[in-house]
Structure 1
């Protein structure tokens, strides 16, 4: 793994999907049915899967380009301002007339296991010709080692366009299969890496993922549905990579979990950054796991994302687990 912040390869990260305004607060416990529960520590933040990936990539020194939709309302600035300040290229973000910006209402209990209610709003807008041309041009112009990351919190035709254009251009693709109900075999077949959490893996494969063995079984079902490789995120923060050549496990470190919001997005972003830098697949996986572990140690997704030196320091402490098939 390269220790210098200067990249070894010039790949860019193209991030396609949801852009949100997050409204987040802490709760002492999860509410009962019909109960009004008082929260505290309210914050307004930028969020959304694609936005989080792009912000992390830029913070880690990559050229990051974001593609998606916001509304023509005041919440658009809440969603875009952190990205702009981090240097994310927003030329591929369109304000949709008459639509609200995507909104996530997030509750964080003491164990950090967040709950989210999401309204996609403008994220679900149909991709028009200008959207398609902007993305197609960016893909065509992307240098070697570039990576496209996409999620399901967007128009289905736009997702298919992004994945198919990237595949045709020889750009590696990372698919965050959320919501799982929106992901079909067409999308999986265009994913070089699919990165489900245990719940998403279960909905996609009918395998309840509770540990390494069940993650391997679910991953093999995703390969059978067309995915190139399955990065199975585990509830303890680790990862199992399943591909045709075998299985690789990255064991997590023990970190204090403050807030799990955005940890999965950090995983996808860390993986993309590693691949775009020209790291080995094993080192890219270490960066992915390290990014997700950094993300859970702070309150809010984007504020908790690390910079390069901190990420590498944690990634170097991660090792392959005992369940490696060679």
Structure 2
């Protein structure tokens, strides 16, 4: 059952894409031409996926983003409109192409993505005020989820504006090369995967111990809660008081596309629901687990009943870790 939420909403700022997805039976790079099947055209992008999952779990969501003035924007926004997500702050950029990704999913489900950011990077310096207004209009108790698949200066504006309003801030540091660590003191939750953690801290999260090492480094850099998504599907979450390891449970991996975005979206919902730190982490891991069990990102996102089933299994396995 959904827990009682605050009056806040989830503000999702970042990429919105048209996804073109196929399954492949050969390893990418083995031959010049790779035969594919199961072609799908979907809505995607980090901001879109976060808002979609949040809305599916019953949380009000609003997207702040840019798309092109082309036919791809209809694909990118179609599923979001069907979910009645607030798109007032999604602007069509004249003459720009909507961001798109080409996703190849091999037999093991571990996707390969080629991303063309296009309109996602078509922000101007004059857009500062539009971002501030979108955040200022949001009700108290809202949560900002932001990624770096948009220009870094827009991320900075959003983080500062949300911090001034007292909103919780969830940062998806992808790609890590764009991340400004000077903003970390304003970040409540950072959610890097193993490779992003390595880019930010030098420690790749190949194990709970390595995840702990990366999390502690991010705490030293200023974030309040560091959540490292481990390669096995679990996570390590740390703050100044406690370090927890959330191990994975066994699920059939069909397609990992969008699993990290499901993690961020579920985390944001758990923050709105004022769950405990342990429950936040388990809720997010449950969402990413469910997301990998079906093909596609948004079409694979779970209903709350399925998520809560996995949550119960996962929460029973949580362990405390020692700082040293």
**Normalising by the residue count of structure 2, what TM-score does the alignment of the two structures yield?**
0.95
Q: Distance in 1 between matches of 2:99 and 2:112?
A: 16
Worse-matched range after superposition: 28-37 or 203-212:
28-37
Are 1:227 and 2:223 matched, yes or no? Answer: yes
The 1:127/1:89 distance shift into structure 2, 3 A limit, reads farther
Verify the 8 A CA contact 1:167 1:173 in the aligned structure 2: yes
Aligned residue for 2:209? 213
Q: Distance in 2 between matches of 1:278 and 1:10?
A: 12
Aligned residue for 1:202? 198
Q: Distance in 1 between matches of 2:226 and 2:160?
A: 18
Q: Distance in 1 between matches of 2:318 and 2:45?
A: 31
Verify the 8 A CA contact 1:107 1:115 in the aligned structure 2: yes
Q: Please, what is the CA RMSD of the aligned residues?
A: 1.6
Q: Distance in 1 between matches of 2:147 and 2:231?
A: 20
Aligned residue for 2:85? 88
Aligned residue for 2:29? 32
Deviation of the 1:6 alpha carbon: 6.2
Q: Distance in 1 between matches of 2:306 and 2:130?
A: 34
What is the CA deviation profile of residues 33-68 of structure 1, one whole-angstrom value per residue up to 9, with x for unaligned ones?
Answer: 661111111101000001100111111111100001
Are 1:122 and 2:112 matched, yes or no? Answer: no
2:43 counterpart (36, 43, 46): 46
Q: Distance in 1 between matches of 2:134 and 2:276?
A: 25
Counterparts of 1:58-73 in structure 2, within 5 Å, are 58-73=55-70
Verify the 8 A CA contact 1:229 1:242 in the aligned structure 2: yes
Aligned residue for 1:103? 100
Q: Distance in 2 between matches of 1:8 and 1:106?
A: 35
- Aligned pair count reads 322
Aligned residue for 2:301? 305
2:73 counterpart (70, 73, 76): 76
Verify the 8 A CA contact 1:145 1:277 in the aligned structure 2: no
Are 1:265 and 2:261 matched, yes or no? Answer: yes
Q: Distance in 2 between matches of 1:217 and 1:125?
A: 36
What is the CA deviation profile of residues 125-161 of structure 1, one whole-angstrom value per residue up to 9, with x for unaligned ones?
Answer: 12454x4444323322333432100000001111101
What is the CA deviation profile of residues 255-301 of structure 1, one whole-angstrom value per residue up to 9, with x for unaligned ones?
Answer: 00000000000000000000012222221211111110010001000
Verify the 8 A CA contact 1:71 1:102 in the aligned structure 2: yes
Worse-matched range after superposition: 71-80 or 215-224:
215-224
Return 5+ residue gaps in structure 2 as ranges.
none
Q: Distance in 2 between matches of 1:45 and 1:89?
A: 19
Are 1:20 and 2:24 matched, yes or no? Answer: no
Q: Secondary structure, in 3 states, of the residue corresponding to 1:30? A: coil
Aligned residue for 1:147? 143
Q: Distance in 1 between matches of 2:319 and 2:145?
A: 29
Aligned residue for 2:289? 293
The 1:6/1:213 distance shift into structure 2, 3 A limit, reads closer
Counterparts of 1:169-184 in structure 2, within 5 Å, are 169-184=165-180
1:8 counterpart (5, 13, 37): 5
**Segments ≥4 residues shifted beyond 4 Å:** none
